[in-house]
Chain A
Amino acid sequence: MDAITAEGLVKIYRTRKNEVRALDGIDLTVGEGTVLGLLGPNGAGKTTTVRILATLLKPDAGRATVAGFDVVRQAQQLRSVIGLSGQYAAVDENLTGRENLWMFGRLYQLSSADAKQRAGELLEQFDLSDAADRVVKTYSGGMRRRLDLGSALIGRPKLMFLDEPTTGLDPRSRLGMWEVIRGLVRDGATLLLTTQYLEEADELADTIAVVDRGKIIARGTSDELKSQVGGERIEVVVRRKEDISRAGEILARQDSTNPQVHSEEHTRRLSIATNGGANRLMQLMRDLAEAEIEIDDIGLHRPTLDDVFLSLTGHVADGPKPDAEAVSHAAAAARSEKPA
């Protein structure tokens, strides 16, 4: 059974001057026990989708069910099986971590004793035991985010909505958050996760739906999407123009399935799609060395959100650039290089 279904969700925000179609017919399904990543830039409609599914907003058209409950007509029943964690830590700054969790537990209709016990468990689980009795005002951004996620888990929801759980976190806190979310997935949670980072969706989601301008423009597993985008590419910059054609032959031998070599004369750059990753790169470096072709740069280029958008929509994502490493250089002395 599908844990989440949505058909033709439309949401229009009206201002004095104009109206914005925040959602323009969103369809999606999330199977029980699976993780759907909603990937898109700022303003694509990710948060609006989550807010509708979590009963915070009413759709202007379309219908959706969560755990079998209609998001409009059965909102109250629906709320007792979901947990929501947003991009702004929704906790009370003037209460301690423990007090926040107890309060949310009580409001989730747990008994006082249950709420207390559950608060203790979650503080332990999210590594907040030492700070449990400190006012949240004194917490770091990462700690607040963990407390927020803990608050969403207080009633052991069957279904979780995580709206950009790592936006604004430093890399270490982000990795910590991923670990926590993976733990939820291991325990069998059904998750709808929104993110601006392809890497994050890749790490955490079973299936990914790409959202742009209120519509889902692509969906599939991470591998399916990447192959749509072209997947990983090996890029080589040779030192001498004369070597371009010879290098091209060597590159074409690398991947028999797709021997399409892309080369540019003036930049002396060649590239080819690959699914062999680092091993293929190593092989290529040895082959080039054997053929005595000198290279300026060589690297594995992974598709980024920008690449996904470029190939799916023809325009670059409007949001901030993903800060995930876009190009991993194999050559030690490589000059820094921006992805296309």
Chain B
Amino acid sequence: MTSQAASRPNAGGGLAQALRDGYILMWRNLKRIPRIPELAIFAVLQSIMFVLLFAFVFGGAIPIAGGNYREYLMPGIFAQTIIFASATVSVGMAADMSQGIIDRFRSLPMARSAVLTGRTMAEVVYQGGILIVLMLSGLAVGWGVHTGIVEFLAGVALLLLFAFAMAWVGVWLGLSVPTVEVAQQVGFTVLFPITFISNVFVPVQTLPDFLRPVAEWNPTSTLTAATRLLWGNPTAADPRLPAATGFPAEQPILLTLIWVVVILAIFVPLAVRKYRSVSR
């Protein structure tokens, strides 16, 4: 406390500091994954349960052109898992806000954005890990990638980009709810319809007319359709059903990228504003 020289924190600030501080908070968020392994284990188990349920229980009843329902299902499961990531982020964020550690962060000469960017970047890394486990289980039930390495990586990149966008939704939600329990409830109430009114489990043509446009434009559907297209998994429904037409069916990759931009453009400013206003 007497040594003056050592007490001068590095000058700096700006983008470099924001990135450095964001990285440290990402490290912090990733560190806790092996410390609470149950979280990751159940996240993976939940997705595997969906694979098994739909592949073996409903699979026979759902008509798919080109045959293999599991090939059709897996990209949808990946997308569903990614969308659900926003729920875990919101719970984590709400938990942080309910504890004193946020006060410590706010009293430090660190980039204000780091708490949020650290959380969302960690989520992308975490979802990447979960994706690897899911892909291995997909291979085990007969799913595969039938295109090249470039298309494979493009599909993975699209999924992770989407995970990043959804993480910001989760951050905003986590900052907006009063308690961790509410974050959990809201997450699942909103996310189940989003992932079910989509092409994840069934072709959209099987849906009633009033739901079909919702399902077609649903980001879960466009993300699923985009990865199916990139990896050569079946995209079409049974030929006996009317063919899917329109922009979502024709440009799923472009539409997914548009969704990513739109979600980020809305939720990054909302989350940042919410964080700034917390207990001020």
In the complex with contacts A90-B100, A90-B101, A90-B104, A188-B1 CB distance below 8 A: yes
Q: A79-B109, A95-B28, A104-B104 are in contact. Are A155 and B7 (CB under 8 A)?
A: yes
Contact A107 B108 (CB under 8 A): yes
Whether A84 pairs with B7 at a CB distance below 8 angstroms is: no
How far, in Å, is A141 (CB) from chain B's closest CB?
14
A254 to chain B, nearest CB (A): 45
A89 at the interface (CB under 8 A from B): yes
Among A55-63, A229-237, A280-288, A299-307, the stretch in contact with B: A55-63
Interface residue B9 (Cβ < 8 Å from any Cβ of A): yes
A103 touches B28 (CB 8 A): yes
Does A187 lie within 8 Å of B1, measured CB to CB?
A: yes
Cβ-based interface call for A184 (8 A): yes
- Measured between beta carbons, the chain A residues less than 8 angstroms from B109 are 76-77, 79-80, 107-109
Contacts of B108 in A (CB 8 A): 79, 104, 107-108
B101 touches A56 (CB 8 A): no
Across the interface, which residues of B come within 8 angstroms of A76, CB to CB? 13, 109
B31→A99 contact, CB < 8 A = yes
The verdict on A94 contacting B24 (CB below 8 Å), with A86-B100, A109-B17 known, is no
* Minimum distance in angstroms from A122 CB to a CB of chain B: 12
Decide if the interface of chain B is mainly helix, strand, loop or mixed: helix
Which B102-121 residues have C-beta < 8 A from chain A?
102-110, 114
Nearest-CB residue, chain B, relative to A161: B107
What A residues does B114 contact at CB under 8 A?
107
Restricting to A173-212, which residues have a CB under 8 Å from any CB of B?
A: 184, 187-189
The interface residues of chain B lying within 8 Å CB-to-CB of A114 are 6
B149 interface residue per 8 A CB criterion:
no
Shortest distance from the beta carbon of B116 to any chain A beta carbon, whole Å? 14
List B31-90 residues whose CB lies under 8 Å from chain A. 31-32, 35-36
B13: chain A residues at CB < 8 Å are: 76
Instruction: Say how far A279's CB is from chain B's closest CB, in angstroms.
Output: 38
B21 close to A (CB within 8 Å):
yes
Which A residue's beta carbon lies closest to that of B7?
Answer: A156
CB within 8 Å of A: which B145-186 residues: none
Min Cβ gap B17→A in Å is 7
Given contacts A80-B9, A88-B99, contact A184 B1 (CB under 8 A): yes
Given contacts A92-B28, A107-B21, contact A57 B280 (CB under 8 A): yes
In the complex, what distance in Å separates the CA atom of A157 from the CA atom of B3?
10
A316 at the interface (CB under 8 A from B): no
Report yes or no: A95 in contact with B31, Cβ–Cβ below 8 A.
yes
User: Cβ of B280 and Cβ of A54 under 8 Å apart?
Assistant: no
* B193 on the A face (CB < 8 A): no
Q: Report the Cα distance A81→B7, complex, angstroms.
A: 8
B35 CB contacts on chain A under 8 angstroms: 94-95, 135
| B22 → A minimal CB distance (Å) | 11
* Alpha-carbon separation in the docked complex, A92 to B106 (Å): 14
A116 at the interface (CB under 8 A from B): no
- Least distance between B10 CB and chain A CB atoms (Å): 5
B92-104 interface mask toward A, CB cutoff 8 Å, 1 = contact, 0 = none?
0000000111111
Show 11 A/B contacts (Cβ-Cβ < 8 Å), sorted by A: A56-B106, A76-B13, A84-B103, A90-B99, A95-B35, A107-B105, A109-B109, A156-B3, A156-B7, A158-B1, A187-B1
